[in-house]
Structure 1
Amino acid sequence: MTPKRILLIVGGGIAAFKACEVLRTLRKRGHTVRCVLTEAGAQFITPLTLAALSEQPVHTSLFELKDEVEMGHIELSREADLVVVCPATANLMARMAAGICDDLATTLLLATDKPVLCAPAMNVRMWLHPATQRNVAQLRADDVTVMEPDEGMMACGEFGPGRLPEPDAIVAAIEDALQRPIPARLLSVSAAPASNPSYSGPLTGRKIVVTAGPTHEPIDPVRYIANRSSGKQGFAIAEAAARLGAEVTLVAGPVTLPTPPGVKRVDVESAREMQAAVDRALPADAAIMVAAVADWHVDAAAQKIKKQPDGTPPALALVQNPDILAGLARSAKRPRLLIGFAAETNDVVAYARAKLAAKGCDWIVANDVSGDVMGGDSNSIHLVTRDGVEDWPNLPKQAVAEQLAARIADALSEPR
């Protein structure tokens, strides 16, 4: 299936170790997973374990300042396609059913506008207790998918229903849930506004999609193909468009930049994840494809590739990644204004003109990256359109973004 984004909440109990296998399998199947580890869960597994398996920061505290700056808990609760609680303890499900939000996990669960799946794990008597059965019934009435636990020998020595389902069964349930329609209750409260409530300006009422940063294409669990893109220019463009009143969705590759004010951010890793996130963000009035998407990926190895004793390097079979810009130009959901970026080291304008013709977009923003542009704070660009080429002076990236956002506003204000 198309790779999805999953928020995995790991509860307490000895079954927490199985969440690692669930996580590993989801990653192997191409999904992106962010993890939240509860205080009880941290008694059984460590944040480092989940971070190594997910290749993402692990969130543990509602009041962690660094986490809130980089991704606020409300955004974390809504940027995934599905929230999974594994293991879901009796205590955690009771708090969910009652609407209690006294830690990061329960706050995310109450704030999310995405479907939720629970994989229960607890003592047999706890599972069969009338209070737990009432809580399960309430959760299901609230459109939460609650799996039936397995029956068998418990860690405590008792036998009966209450064991965490096997990881393969949980992964199958997750992928089944990802393909179901979103419950009407969630759709009724998650409709996005037609404009950015934080700002007003010439882009008020417009929806804009921006991609930024690099993509990482895994080779094995510890290596990947990437480039030097910092994401600074794309983030600056997203912020400038939001300040002019646009409702902006920023699809960001693996960068550590803070989310611009008033911008909805969706984090991705690979080119295929970025393509799927852009498609989910449509329809839009304009799309600005700033991201430096990796041209190729490989079929990632499940285990770390080891060096050969004779020094022979491994053979990597490169597979071309989807061309997000060209695909968007051909799409039935093509934005009215489609802008691509061309980062070149020589013959910048000539390559940009060729790219404009080949990709089917409206504008190409070309820049010379032979120096320190990637990672730097300034940019010198050429705006290539069907009408000609504009050579802009070297400017701070924020100034480039503001000038480009103003040009986008002018273009969208013209009659079709």
Structure 2
Amino acid sequence: MTLAGKDILLIISGGIAAYKSLDLIRRLRERGAHVRPIMTAGAQEFITPLAVGALAADKVFTELFSREDEQDVGHIRLARECDLVVVAPATADLMAKMANGLANDLASTVLLATNKPVLVAPAMNPQMWAHPATQRNLMTLQSDGLHFIGPKAGEMAESGEAGVGRMAEPLEIVAAIEDLLQPQSLMLSGKTAIVTSGPTHEPIDPVRYIANRSSGRQGHAIAAALSRLGAKVTLVSGPVTIADPAGVTTIHIERAEEMRDAVLAALPADIAVMVAAVADWRVASSADQKIKKQAGAAPAPLELTENPDILKTVGHHPNRPRLVVGFAAETQNVEENGRAKLERKGADLIVANDVSPETGIMGGSRNTVRLITTSGSEVWPEMDKDAVAMKLAHWIAERVEKP
């Protein structure tokens, strides 16, 4: 895709990955984009405004209180006179400012003032990326509607450590920019879709419950992606801490039986994507009051009963959608277990992934999936969950029968 005529506001923050922003500018200009750079004080410790300005063929903005630039409220013009704001690299410090609405330099002020889409390419030490504070900030920014590309796994240039924290490569960022700026063809216009997301909570008593470890990020992202392609989407979500996707009808539930009832009430539909991590079991009879420990006594046994199989119910329903997609979260034998689930549940596609603790997929921001159909399987490279969602939405759109 050409980016001719597109205005990109590029914010470069401090970190060794700032050197990649030079190549990013070159790649964007090769595609016809106009790049206007902002550099933080930290960025200027790694690369010079002279180099950035030469590649961008434009002025580099560095100061919030510039007499020349602020005489006509320059930071507001920068925030508004662009098609997209790109932050590459985005440090942990700048992400924290963005998540908490701080505005004490030009970059953070522009980010708070902009009404344009924002694409963020984080880069930091793996421990900093994995820190709960950074992950909270990530979830806040995603809930606010910001888009992310990366970070990737690999060795860190500055420390020799390895892990997730490397900034996405310039061409990957360019591809994400093209996806955000190209008009989305409404491939699913007139189609209806049901998506399930998140965990279910099966009460033991008013305080305790049985659940699966699911953040809902992947399911919510898929609902949003299908909506972007023109589908009328009903999202049935278990208890999550992320925002409802824009443009999607969201039904909130707690228990598996409630999720099943909500899904069946949404039929008929053209598409069903069952992403939720539904608890397989529930307590046969939950207590009305909190179950108290008795000194010296063993805990009372819990009698469990099987929850409804929502994917199987939909896959064999008289009003079965023309395309039924299920998810299989596995810790071993991913291909074999996914294929068995495909046959057993009556699905057209199983999206299987390895959710072993070491993968960090459950609750994380990235995913590696294997698509399993009756005709074969394919493995997609690791990518963030928004990218998985949009790629899957296009896969679905290409296979839904046209009217």
Question: TM class, shorter-chain normalised?
Answer: 0.5 to 0.7
2:213 aligned counterpart, secondary structure: coil
What is the alpha-carbon distance in structure 2 between the residues aligned to residue 311 and residue 341 of structure 1? 41
Of 240, 257, 279, 2:225 maps to 240
Query: Alpha-carbon deviation of 1:311?
Result: 3.7
The corresponding residue for 1:220 is: 205
The corresponding residue for 2:370 is: 382
Question: What are the equivalent positions in structure 2 for 1:305-316 lying under 5 Å apart?
Answer: 305-316=291-302
Is structure 2 residue 359 aligned with structure 1 residue 350? no
Of 322, 333, 354, 2:308 maps to 322
1:328 aligned counterpart, secondary structure: helix
1:294 aligned counterpart, secondary structure: coil
Deviation track 1:312-350 (CA, whole Å, cap 9, x = no partner) reads 011100000000011111111110000000000111111
Question: What are the equivalent positions in structure 2 for 1:277-316 lying under 5 Å apart?
Answer: 277-298=262-283, 299-316=285-302
Query: Residue 386 of structure 1 aligns to which amino acid in structure 2?
Result: T
Determine what percentage of the aligned residue pairs are the same residue.
Answer: 57
Query: Residue 315 of structure 1 aligns to which amino acid in structure 2?
Result: P
Provide structure 2 residue ranges, at least 5 long, that are not aligned to the other structure.
1-139, 145-183
The corresponding residue for 1:403 is: 391
Query: Residue 330 of structure 1 aligns to which amino acid in structure 2?
Result: H
Query: Residue 321 of structure 1 aligns to which amino acid in structure 2?
Result: N
Question: What are the equivalent positions in structure 2 for 1:15-54 lying under 5 Å apart?
Answer: none
Deviation track 1:30-50 (CA, whole Å, cap 9, x = no partner) reads xxxxxxxxxxxxxxxxxxxxx
Question: Which runs of 4 or more aligned residues in structure 1 lie more than 4 Å from their structure 2 counterparts after TM superposition?
Answer: none
Deviation track 1:84-104 (CA, whole Å, cap 9, x = no partner) reads xxxxxxxxxxxxxxxxxxxxx
The corresponding residue for 2:382 is: 394
2:251 aligned counterpart, secondary structure: strand
Query: Alpha-carbon deviation of 1:227?
Result: 1.3
What is the alpha-carbon distance in structure 1 between the residues aligned to residue 251 and residue 242 of structure 2? 13
What is the alpha-carbon distance in structure 2 between the residues aligned to residue 280 and residue 268 of structure 1? 13
Of 353, 360, 377, 2:346 maps to 360
* Distance of aligned partners of 1:231 and 1:238 in 2 relative to their CA distance in 1, 3 Å threshold: same
Query: Alpha-carbon deviation of 1:225?
Result: 0.3
Deviation track 1:94-150 (CA, whole Å, cap 9, x = no partner) reads xxxxxxxxxxxxxxxxxxxxxxxxxxxxxxxxxxxxxxxxxxxxxxxxxxxxxxxxx
What is the alpha-carbon distance in structure 1 between the residues aligned to residue 300 and residue 321 of structure 2? 42
What is the alpha-carbon distance in structure 2 between the residues aligned to residue 332 and residue 217 of structure 1? 28
Is structure 2 residue 324 aligned with structure 1 residue 338? yes
1:291 aligned counterpart, secondary structure: coil
What is the alpha-carbon distance in structure 2 between the residues aligned to residue 343 and residue 324 of structure 1? 15
Deviation track 1:149-182 (CA, whole Å, cap 9, x = no partner) reads xxxxxxxxxxxxxxxxxxxxxxxxxxxxxxxxxx
What is the alpha-carbon distance in structure 2 between the residues aligned to residue 401 and residue 277 of structure 1? 22
Query: Alpha-carbon deviation of 1:414?
Result: 5.6
Query: Residue 261 of structure 2 aligns to which amino acid in structure 1?
Result: A
Is structure 2 residue 254 aligned with structure 1 residue 276? no
Query: Residue 353 of structure 2 aligns to which amino acid in structure 1?
Result: N
TM-score, normalization: structure 1?
0.52
The corresponding residue for 2:234 is: 249
1:220 aligned counterpart, secondary structure: coil
Query: Alpha-carbon deviation of 1:413?
Result: 3.6
Query: Alpha-carbon deviation of 1:200?
Result: 6.2
1:310 aligned counterpart, secondary structure: coil
Of 239, 247, 251, 1:266 maps to 251
Provide structure 1 residue ranges, at least 5 long, that are not aligned to the other structure.
1-65, 71-198
What is the alpha-carbon distance in structure 2 between the residues aligned to residue 311 and residue 288 of structure 1? 45
* Distance of aligned partners of 1:304 and 1:297 in 2 relative to their CA distance in 1, 3 Å threshold: same
Query: Residue 406 of structure 1 aligns to which amino acid in structure 2?
Result: H
Question: What are the equivalent positions in structure 2 for 1:131-142 lying under 5 Å apart?
Answer: none
1:408 aligned counterpart, secondary structure: helix
Query: Alpha-carbon deviation of 1:308?
Result: 1.9
TM-score, normalization: structure 2?
0.53
Size of the aligned set, in residue pairs, is 221
What is the alpha-carbon distance in structure 2 between the residues aligned to residue 323 and residue 272 of structure 1? 9
What is the alpha-carbon distance in structure 1 between the residues aligned to residue 241 and residue 214 of structure 2? 12
